[in-house]
Amino acid sequence: MNKENIFVKFTKREKQIIKILMKEVCSRKVLAAMLVLSISTIDAHMRSIHQKTNTHNTAGVVKFAFENPSTLL
């Protein structure tokens, strides 16, 4: 685990989105429907998640989550 990742703080909704992504739901449309949100809201949450995890795609977010499970508590 990278020490700098210990201090990442996600919002409740960001944690919810990451947990869904970890279950292999990658479609923004499906994710938006599951959470009853607009696609643009999902995009905004994903931008924030990417910034906090220093990743550029969903695979990077999922990898980060598996390597740093304590950030999702």
- Check if the beta carbon of residue 55 is closer than 8 Å to that of residue 44: no
pLDDT of residue 13: 98
* CA–CA dist 16, 13 (Å, integer): 5
- Check if the beta carbon of residue 61 is closer than 8 Å to that of residue 49: yes
pLDDT of residue 16: 97
Could you list the pLDDT tens digit for every one of the 73 residues in the chain?
445 556 899 999 999 999 999 999 889 999 999 999 999 999 999 999 999 999 999 999 999 999 999 999 9
At the topology level, CATH places domain 3-72 in Arc Repressor Mutant, subunit A (1.10.10)
The domain segmentation of the chain, as residue ranges, is 3-72
Query: For tokens 């990658």, what's the residue?
Result: 26
- Check if the beta carbon of residue 10 is closer than 8 Å to that of residue 52: yes
- pTM, full prediction: 0.89
